[in-house]
Amino acid sequence: MFWYRNLIKLSTPTKSETPITKNLLQASLSHFSTANQPPASAQAQPPGLGPTKPHDKPRVVVLGSGWAGCRLMKGLDPKLYDIVCVSPRNHMVFTPLLASTCVGTLEFRSVAEPIARIQPSISSAPGSYFFLANSTAVDTENHEVHCETVTDGTDTLDPWKFKISYDKLVIASGAQASTFGIHGVKEHAIFLREVHHAQEIRRKLLLNLMLSDVPGLPEEEKRRLLHCVVVGGGPTGVEFSGELSDFIRRDVHERYTHVKDYIHVTLIEANEILSSFDDRLRHYAIKHLTKSGVRLVRGIVKDVKPENLVLTDGSEVPYGLLVWSTGVGPSPFVNSLGLPKSPGGRIGVDEWLRVPTVQDVFSIGDCSGFLESTGKPVLPALAQ
């Protein structure tokens, strides 16, 4: 080794200690010494976008690519602002029609719109960008957003962190599905909020239909495989149950005649379905769901197992497909922000959708709600 040979040469008594040898020794040993290392603050900082310069356009950073974030970006003038979007998905999902893609009524491309088509400047303007990443923190004092990339881990690249400086920040990160801390929901149930959720539901539904037609399967297991359970009687749960029952009547009865008598849908709700809607709409939905063969069960889920779920009354409901749609709540990112919260844990805003305790920060969509001081009621999810 280079440093070892230098050390041997310098240790022999026949060699004189010259300034050159002293420098060689110091240079060799400094590689193993921490005394000459720069302090942690002087080491490489995470990359990212630094603050804008005085002659630059103001930078508007939008966190999220849902209804609220995309509508805002669509209305922003790229001649006046640099637009930066940070989101774990590069498209907007038209959620009201997502249930239709699960059963083939619509194709997945029909409910997803690329962000670059909504606001073309993020892929063409010099100062505008889209970053496939999750927001992890917001530094309101330094006007910075901390982000971490979304990758496939070891299959592509390990995630790395970066920072983005903003002039105006709009938090539109949405909400996440509520599980109410029930054991087994995340492991065994499928949510219906993203395109990949609909793809997973469609794949599992078709797989169960085909497996149930194979000889040798016990009749009890066949009934379990073809039992589709939907938990949550809100708009998503009711709509998906209706789409699924139509699929069974139109397609399953025609293409899977050997198992058509085994497949059925059960909708479980703790209270009344569509409880936030008018009574006439609720009765209309109940009438048409029961007419199409959907079984309505009133109960509260206590535990979710791989092949059945347990209600609070002790009864067990076997399932082959379990879809969870019990509403939404604040995401861990929103909970981690040191910003005022509205009732329900959303980011508190005033009448102008500003976060009143900090400058240049706005919040829109499902992640925000009016502060109690405004006197306005909290809007329901997907109010936009």
Q: What is the pTM of this model?
A: 0.82
Q: Is residue 7 part of a domain?
A: no
Give phi and psi for 38, each to the nearest 5.
-65, 150
Between 19 and 378, where is the model more confident?
Answer: 378
Task: Provide the CATH number for the domain around residue 293.
Answer: 3.50.50.60
Report how far Cα 249 is from the mean position of its chain's Cα atoms: 33
Do 270 and 320 have their domain in common? yes
Q: Is residue 67 part of a domain?
A: yes
| The residue to which tokens 């040898």 are assigned | 21
Between 377 and 345, where is the model more confident?
Answer: 345
Of the chain, the end-to-end C-alpha distance in Å amounts to 67
Question: Is residue 256 very low, low, confident or very high in pLDDT (cuts 50, 70, 90)?
Answer: confident
Indicate the residue among 305, 326, 347 that finishes a domain: 326
> If you average pLDDT over residues 249-257, what whole number do you get?
88
Mean pLDDT rounded to a whole number for the chain: 86
Query: How many domains is the chain built from?
Result: 2
Do 113 and 206 have their domain in common? no
Q: Which domain holds residue 210?
A: 190-326
Q: Is residue 16 part of a domain?
A: no
Question: Is residue 381 very low, low, confident or very high in pLDDT (cuts 50, 70, 90)?
Answer: low
Question: Is residue 154 very low, low, confident or very high in pLDDT (cuts 50, 70, 90)?
Answer: low
Task: Provide the CATH number for the domain around residue 88.
Answer: 3.50.50.100
Do 66 and 126 have their domain in common? yes
CB atoms within 10 A of CB 201: 24
Do 86 and 121 have their domain in common? yes
Q: Is residue 32 part of a domain?
A: no
CA distance 337 to 63: 13
Do 306 and 354 have their domain in common? no
Do 257 and 288 have their domain in common? yes
Do 201 and 273 have their domain in common? yes
| The residue to which tokens 């048409």 are assigned | 288
Contact (Cβ atoms closer than 8 angstroms) between residue 366 and residue 172: no
Decide if pLDDT at 147 tops 50: yes
Do 210 and 316 have their domain in common? yes
CA distance 91 to 74: 13
Contact (Cβ atoms closer than 8 angstroms) between residue 115 and residue 70: yes
Give phi and psi for 117, each to the nearest 5.
-85, -30
Bridge partners, 170 (sequence order): 62, 362
Decide if pLDDT at 375 tops 50: yes
Q: What percent of the chain has pLDDT over 70?
A: 86
Indicate the residue among 326, 341, 364 that finishes a domain: 326
Do 106 and 88 have their domain in common? yes
pLDDT in tens, 195-252: 999 999 999 999 999 999 899 999 999 999 999 999 999 989 999 999 999 999 888 9
Q: Which of 102-111, 186-195, 220-229, 369-378 comes out lowest in average pLDDT?
A: 369-378
Indicate the residue among 295, 311, 326 that finishes a domain: 326
Do 166 and 218 have their domain in common? no
Q: At a CB cut-off of 8 Å and minimum separation 6, what does 190 contact?
A: 197, 200, 201, 204, 321, 322, 323, 324
Q: Is residue 319 part of a domain?
A: yes
Q: Is residue 154 part of a domain?
A: yes
DSSP reduced 3-state for 217: coil
CA distance 186 to 184: 6
Contact (Cβ atoms closer than 8 angstroms) between residue 290 and residue 296: yes
The alpha carbons of the chain give a radius of gyration, in whole angstroms, of 29
Decide if pLDDT at 260 tops 90: no
Q: Is residue 36 part of a domain?
A: no
Biggest CA-to-CA distance, the chain: 105
Q: Is residue 29 part of a domain?
A: no
Do 116 and 202 have their domain in common? no
DSSP reduced 3-state for 21: helix
The token duo for 243 is 């789409």
Do 55 and 147 have their domain in common? yes
Length of the chain, in residues:
384
CB atoms within 10 A of CB 166: 26
| The residue to which tokens 């139109």 are assigned | 250
Contacts of 1-6 with C-beta under 8 Å, sequence gap 24+, read: 2/28, 3/28, 3/29, 3/31, 3/32
